[in-house]
Amino acid sequence: MCSLSFFTLLISGLLMFFLGVYFLLFDYSVFVDWELFSLNSSMVVMTLIFDWMSLIFMSFVLFISSLVIYYSLDYMSGEKNMNRFIMLVLMFVVSMVFLILSPNLISILLGWDGLGLISYCLVIYYQNVKSYNAGMLTALTNRIGDVAILISISWMLNFGSWNFIYYYDFISNSLEMQVITFLVILAAMTKSAQIPFSSWLPAAMAAPTPVSALVHSSTLVTAGVYLLIRFSPMLVEFNLGNILLFFGCLTMFMSGLGANFEFDLKKIIALSTLSQLGLMMSILSMGYPNIAFFHLLTHALFKALLFMCAGSIIHNMSDCQDIRFMGSVVYYMPLTSVCFNVSSLSLCGMPFLAGFYSKDLILELVCMSWMNYFIFFLYFFSTGLTVSYSFRLFYYSMIGNNNHFSSYSFVDDSFYMSFGMISLLIVAVFGGGLLSWLIFPIPYTIVLPIYLKLLTMFVVMLGVYFGYMISMFKLSLMLFSSSLLPLSIFFGSMWFMPFLSTNFISFPFLNYGYFVSKILDSGWGELLGGQGLYSMFLYFINYIQFWYDSIFKVYLFTFIFWMFLLLILFLI
């Protein structure tokens, strides 16, 4: 089943890519409308849109999912329920394809809810308490976005149809469309884990690593960004981009800080995904949907590769994810190390790798735009933090001393894993340039003074230095010393966001419920209710019985007394 799924998805992905390039070059768009039924002049229609954006994005999803399934043949080789795992991954891909091809809110909900449900099933795939908690946090956070989509569907009844793509020309003074756009922004923020809904994304690392490679590169977390790209004309029309820009930049800054204080390999990569999602959201809110889509594609390539390499290292280290136990991996796993470092450099924006073409363009457009100093500072500081945690990860895993535990047996010759990593390595190196030539045949005109042109390079070098410094033992010891420990805990726990999303909300209600249970249900409620009535009736019955028994004794005593008295009188 794995091999069949791999070949089917791979061939479908390649066909979709060539078809998408054809549609892009000749500016084609194809709509497919299938009317299911009509109710009071509101038509429930299954609509599919085939344009260059949907086809190219779908080709990336199918290509990455095919490699993930092939990679899973080795990574999940000891799994007893392999077919169930493959079926879940395929259902996940089908849900994402539904979302990509739908310009209709009802059919979008099918893919949207499918992603939420199957992501829950995959997060709790390993049955333990940590996975259950992570799955519940993921599901409940995503339900907020699902409710927003449902409300927007009901609100869109005012238009008589749910095909939002037809209403771009009729929204200039429409309050209904403004409300719908706000609800879609809320839904996208939950699915793409923007502040204040960020806590579920690192928690979702409880899923198997191949799932993480798929979920955090091209499917679940990018669904919100893709939906907002489709709604981008309305963002500009109603001037709602400022809200998104602020939260996107804050998310980018918060996740970059958190990754520098994290020691879990998968959570560091998850926080880097969160940082890049904030970058996509912020550049989208500034009115550049094509650049946000371009960065979404390049990010999918190198992030899937990064997760695959991390999975290979974790697999060889007996499922240990703590980077403090790693070191000198480059000597034992050279192929994995090369792929890992290429994807990290692409994440940092190393020239001529995939990430460079989108990140450098975004930063130069920020320098040219109307941004204030606060947003400008967040962009460049977050870029420096990205380089910092990437170098810190490289230092801990590749340069540091290995602990040489006897249980570790490093193997770097797995064909299934190597095939997936090498395939993604090729596209991560050459894909960025190819996509930039296709999507932007006429390059953006960037005019900047020399100090702004060199600012990005300066920030990158500063990030490398800072990453090296916090990797050194003395400074690391100082950062986690008792005097700075509260600050380190604050930065390392995503500004206490997991606590604010879980215990902070639930504890007052649980505490109040416990109080009510003890005082009312198990206290006064019992006293004045069933147990109290039972005790009262029992007391009265015992009292009456005692009284009856006592009266019988009095009667008997009186009878004996009178008999004794009569006997005395008779004798006298």
Determine how many CB atoms are found less than 10 A away from the CB of residue 534. Answer: 11
Residue 134 burial by CB count (10 A; 0-12/13-18/19+): exposed, middle or buried?
buried
Residue 552 CA, chain-centre distance (Å), reads 81
> Can you give 345-366 as a three-state secondary structure string?
HHHHCCCCCHHHHHHHHHHHHH
Alpha helices in 161-319 (DSSP H): 175-191, 200-203, 209-215, 220-230, 232-238, 241-260, 265-285, 289-316
Adjacent-strand bridge partners of 46: 34
| Cα–Cα separations (whole angstroms), residue 274 to 115, 211, 255, 493 | 18, 16, 6, 14
Do residues 288 and 365 touch, judged by C-beta distance below 8 A?
yes
b or e along 471-498 (b: 16 or more beta carbons within 10 Å of the residue's beta carbon)?
beeeeeeebeeeeeeeeeeebbbbbebb
Residue 431's pLDDT is 86
Residue identified by tokens 């980018």 is 252
Is the Cβ–Cβ distance between 466 and 388 less than 8 Å?
yes
Q: Give the model's pLDDT for residue 482.
A: 62
DSSP secondary structure code for residue 43 in this structure: E
CA distance 300 to 283: 17
CB-CB contact of 30 with 22 (8 Å)? no
Please, which residues have CB within 8 angstroms of residue 413's CB and are 6 or more apart in sequence? none
The answer to whether the CB of 327 falls within 8 A of the CB of 400 is yes
What is the structure's pLDDT at 145?
A: 87
Q: Where are the domains of the chain?
A: 240-499, 505-571
Exposed (0-12), middle (13-18) or buried (19+): which is 82, by Cβ within 10 Å? middle
DSSP conformational letter for 193? T
DSSP 163: B
Closest C-alpha to 252, from 226, 285, 223: 285
Stated as kind and residue range, the H or E segment containing 48 is strand 42-51
CA atoms within 13 A on the CB side of 556: 6
Q: Which of 499, 487, 486 is nearest to 198 (CA)?
A: 499
Q: Which two tokens stand for residue 2?
A: 């794995």
In SS3 terms, 107-145 reads as HHHHHHHHHHHHHHHHHCCCCCHHHHHHHHHHHHHHHHH
> Concatenated DSSP letters for 378-394?
HHHHHHHHHHHHHHHHH
Q: Look at residue 406 in the predicted model and tell me its pLDDT.
A: 54
Amino acid at 483: S
Name every residue whose Cβ is closer than 8 Å to that of residue 467 and which is 6 or more positions away in sequence.
260, 387, 388, 389, 390, 391, 392, 395
| Alpha carbon distance 9, 19 (integer Å) | 15
pLDDT at res. 56: 92
pLDDT in tens, the chain (572 residues): 677 888 888 888 899 999 999 999 888 889 888 887 777 777 777 888 898 999 999 999 999 999 988 888 888 877 788 888 888 888 989 999 988 988 888 888 888 888 888 888 888 888 888 888 888 888 888 888 889 999 988 888 777 777 777 776 666 667 778 888 889 899 999 988 888 888 888 888 888 888 888 887 878 888 889 999 988 888 877 778 888 888 989 999 999 888 888 888 888 998 999 999 999 999 998 888 899 999 999 999 889 999 999 888 888 887 788 888 887 788 888 888 899 999 999 988 888 888 888 888 888 888 888 888 888 888 999 999 999 989 888 888 888 776 655 556 677 777 888 888 898 899 888 888 888 888 888 888 788 888 888 888 898 888 888 888 877 755 666 666 666 777 777 777 777 777 777 777 778 888 888 888 888 777 777 777 767 777 788 888 887 777 776 676 777 777 788 888 888 887 76
Strand-pair partners of 43: 38
- For residue 464, the model assigns a pLDDT of 87
